[in-house]
Structure 1
C-alpha cells in the first residue's frame, strides 16, 4: 500500500470502519473498495487495535486511513508508525492548523520523530533515506466542518502537504446552528469547499450516507467518497433480510 500517491481526479469509494475487528477490513478489501477509514474519532480504537486493523488492510492491499481523534504529535506519529496510508483529520479550521498538522507528519522540515523499527519503515528493511521519503509523502485529508474552516478553506488547501479537503457536513450544519446536513447553507458551503479543493489541485472529499448520493456530490466536484460505515452496511443488510 503506497502512502505517497493519492489520486485527485478518479472517483474513489470507501467507508468508515467503526468496529475493531480485522475481519471487517479483509471483507471490505475483498469487495474491491478503494480505501477504508478507521474512525478513531468516534469509535473505540486503541493503538493495539489499530495495529491489527493495519495488518489486515495490508493483507488485502486495502489503503487504510485513520480518522484521528486529535492533532497531537503523539496521536499522529502513532497512526503513521503503524503504517496507515494516510490521515483524515477533523476540525482543521485554519491554515495554521494545517501547517501544524503537516509538520507533525513530516520528517524533513517537520516535527515527526524517526525510528526505522515500526511497520511503516518495514521494521528496518527500508533504510532511513527511503523511509523518510515515504513518510514525507503521507496523505493528509483535512476535514472542513465549521464556519471558520469554510472561511479559511482556500488558505488551508494551499498549504504545502495538504492532500485534500473533506467536507464534514454534520458538524458543519451544527456550526451554522442547524440540524440538517442538507440545509441550503450547508450544501452551498459544501459546493464552495469542493471547488476550492479542485482549483488547488487537491482531492475534494465528502461523507455521504447512501451510495445514491454520490452522483449529486460528484456533480459538485467531489471525487473521494466515504459512504456510510461498516455498521450502517450491516444494519441495511439485516433490515433487508427482515423485509
Structure 2
C-alpha cells in the first residue's frame, strides 16, 4: 500500500490510528512500523506549518503509513495544500451544516468541485502520473466531517447525506463545551454521541471517534463505530515514561 492509498474499514471491520501532535518526521516513521492503520496529523491543535506537514507526509510515504490531516481551517487553500502534499484524507473540524459539508467536499474534489490542479506536487507524482491519473487518485481522498457542536448533532443526518462525505467523526470535548458542559463523559454528551452514530450508520457512512482506552474503543465498536483515533504520540510517550519512572516518595 502506498501511504496515499487508504480505504475506510469494511462494514465488519475497524481501523485504529493515533493523533500526531509533535512535528518530528521520525515519530511518523516510527509509528509506521507498529501496525497502525493510519495516523492523523493534528494541524488544528499542534504547531504544524507547511514545512513540517510536508516532512510528515514524506515520512508517512516512506513508512507506508496513511496520514490524514486535521486541518486548521476548512477553507479551499488549506485543504488543497495538505491534499497536494499527499494526505490520504482530511478530518475537518466544526462542520455544523450540510452546506458547510458540501463546500468542504467541493474543495477536495477536482471533478464536480473546485480543487485546483497542478502536476507538480507529491499527490500528482511530481508530474509523473499525468493529469487523468492524478485526478482519478485525487478524487479518492477521504473526507471526514467532525461533529462537535449541538447544532452539528441536530444536522448530523443531513451532513452524513452529503455525497463525498465518507464519515462523521464525533468530537466529544467540543461537543460538551457547546452544550454548556465541562465533562466529555457526561451522559448528555453520550446520548448525543449515540444519536450521531445512529444517523451516520443509517446513511451508510463510517463513524469515527477519539477514545482514550481500548475498553472505551470496544464499547463504541459494539455500537457501530469503526474508525478510532486512540491516543496520540504525546500520550503514548507520557504513558511509556510513567510506566518506567522511579516511584517518588511522598
Bin the TM-score by the shorter chain: over 0.9
Q: Could you state the TM-score of these two structures normalised by the residue count of structure 2?
A: 0.95
TM-score (norm 1): 0.97
* CA deviations over 1:53-106 (Å, ceiling 9, x no partner): 011111111110000010111100000000000000000000000000000001
Structure 2 contact 18–40 (Cα < 8 Å) conserved? yes
Q: Which residue of 2 aligns with 1:67?
A: 70
The 8 Å contact of residues 8 and 204 in structure 1, kept in 2 or not, is answered as no
User: Shift of residue 16 of structure 1?
Assistant: 0.3
Query: Are the equivalent residues in 2 in contact too, given 1:3–1:86 (CA < 8 A)?
Result: no
- The CA deviation at 1:217 is 1.0
**Distance of 1:12 and 1:89 partners within structure 2:** 19
Q: Deviations over 1:158-208 (max 9, x none)?
A: 100001000000000001100111111111111111121112111110001
* CA drift at 1:23: 0.9
In the alignment, structure 1 segments of 5+ residues that lack a partner are: none
Alpha-carbon spacing, 1:8–1:199, altered in 2? closer, same or farther (3 Å) = farther
Match among 5, 8, 16 for residue 6 of structure 1: 8
Would you say the 8 A contact 1:14–1:34 is kept in 2?
yes
How far 1:5 sits from its partner (Å)? 3.0
* Aligned length, in residue pairs: 243
8 Å Cα contact 1:3/1:139 also seen in 2: no
Can you give the 5+ residue segments of structure 2 that lack an aligned partner in the other structure?
Answer: none
Partner of residue 186 from structure 2, selected from 183, 200, 218: 183
Equivalent residue in structure 2 for 1:214, among 217, 228, 241 = 217
RMSD of equivalent CA atoms: 1.1
1:18 and 2:21 matched: yes
* Alignment of structure 1 residues 29-178 onto 2, 5 Å: 29-178=32-181
Please say if residues 4 and 87 of structure 2, whose CA atoms lie closer than 8 Å, have aligned partners that are also in contact.
no
Change (3 A) 1:6 1:160: same
Contact 1:63–1:85, Cα closer than 8 Å, also in 2: yes
Kept after mapping to 2: 8 A contact 1:5/1:137: no
d(CA) in 1 for partners of 2:234, 2:129 = 37
